[in-house]
Amino acid sequence: MDTFIVTGASHGFGLEIARQLVRRAGTEVILAVRDLKKGEALAKEMGPNARAMRLDCASMEDINRFIAAWRGPIRGLVNNAGLQQPGATRLTADGYEETIAVNHLAAFQLTVGLLPHLKGGRVLFIGSGTHNPENKTPRRFGFRGAKFTSIAQLAKGESDATNDRQRGLDRYATSKFLNTATGIELARRFQPTEHVFSVLDPGMMAGTGLARSAPAPVRLLWSTVLKWISPLIDDASTTEKSAAAAVWMLTEAPASDIHGAVYDFARKPSERVWEKVREAEVGRMVVEQSLSFLHAKLPT
């Protein structure tokens, strides 16, 4: 049985990835979710090859507990759990700004901690076109691209934005920049025969829970009009289409093609990637600072 872990598999994109993965013969899917009851109910619907495990990505203690409890080889890890938080700054129990904690620090810690089980396995990070200040669609929604300062400053919640909404959008875009830079940089450090690291830019998938903290009119727009007009927007997709691309990257795509690459929902190298995120010095800073911030080490 090939085992795949999908974080944030209780809703939206992660749930769809889990559903599509489990349909494959010889595949076991772990729904790594913060609400275990909900995860167990979803796993039951998916059948005997799906299993839920508790994982709260806002808690380093819980992430470390998950890593310590893990036994056995992992074929693929999907770092999908994520949020967008345009309200007042929220800190996790560890004292870290919530968006950076859940979207980046959790994905980073989980990946590093589970690497010894991922021999010959694939790690998929979920990026987003919002990280690139030159992308038109995110700009229309108020995104101004990633604002990478340092991991320590971001974790403290420091920001040059003048209002909560802009701070939230900047933090989200920055977290997706960090996810992308991490995937690209880890691929520089390991051969694809050891671990395959890649990034999926899933496009805009209107209707997921990502807008749950937005004001009511934005939530309504997200779950209705934007869904309807998606076919007219170049970089819009659906959870079904983007999950199919994720499953392909986890199971069928040639490792040498996708290792260190950012692909889009059409299964092609993404054209929405900011050149800055590919800079070797940026990748080095993101990975070294994250390792030092988390007191972690990459296995040799």
Tell me which residues touch ligand NAP (CB under 6 A).
8, 10-14, 34-35, 55-58, 80-83, 102, 126, 128, 202, 204-205, 208-210, 212
User: In sequence order, what E strands does the chain have?
Assistant: 2-7, 27-33, 50-54, 76-79, 121-126, 195-201, 262-264
Q: With b meaning 16 or more CB within 10 Å and e meaning fewer, what string describes 208-227? A: bbbbeebeeeeeebbeeebb
Nearest to ligand NAP of 35, 279 (CB atom): 35
Q: Taking the complex as a whole, how short is the minimal distance between the CB of residue 92 and ligand NAP, in angstroms?
A: 8
Nearest to ligand NAP of 184, 192 (CB atom): 184
Q: Taking the complex as a whole, how short is the minimal distance between the CB of residue 56 and ligand NAP, in angstroms?
A: 5
Q: Taking the complex as a whole, how short is the minimal distance between the CB of residue 150 and ligand NAP, in angstroms?
A: 21
- The CA–CA distances, whole Å, from 255 to 25, 101, 122, 285 equal 20, 29, 9, 25
Q: Taking the complex as a whole, how short is the minimal distance between the CB of residue 119 and ligand NAP, in angstroms?
A: 25
CA angle in degrees (0–180, nearest 5) for 94-4-173: 45
Nearest to ligand NAP of 12, 192 (CB atom): 12
Angle of helix 36-46 versus helix 12-22 axis, rounded to 10: 30
- The CA–CA distances, whole Å, from 180 to 3, 108, 282 equal 24, 11, 11
Chain position whose Cβ is nearest to ligand NAP = 12
With CA atoms as reference, report the closest residue to 9 among 32, 28, 29, 35: 32
Q: Taking the complex as a whole, how short is the minimal distance between the CB of residue 126 and ligand NAP, in angstroms?
A: 4
Amino acid at 11: H
Nearest to ligand NAP of 202, 260 (CB atom): 202
Look-up of token digits 């289409």: 241
Nearest to ligand NAP of 185, 235 (CB atom): 235
Q: Taking the complex as a whole, how short is the minimal distance between the CB of residue 206 and ligand NAP, in angstroms?
A: 7
Nearest to ligand NAP of 32, 192 (CB atom): 32
- How far the first Cα of the chain sits from its last, in Å, is 27
> DSSP secondary-structure letter at 43?
H
Q: Taking the complex as a whole, how short is the minimal distance between the CB of residue 11 and ligand NAP, in angstroms?
A: 4
**How far apart, in whole angstroms, are the C-alpha atoms of residue 271 and residue 260?**
15
Nearest to ligand NAP of 86, 209 (CB atom): 209
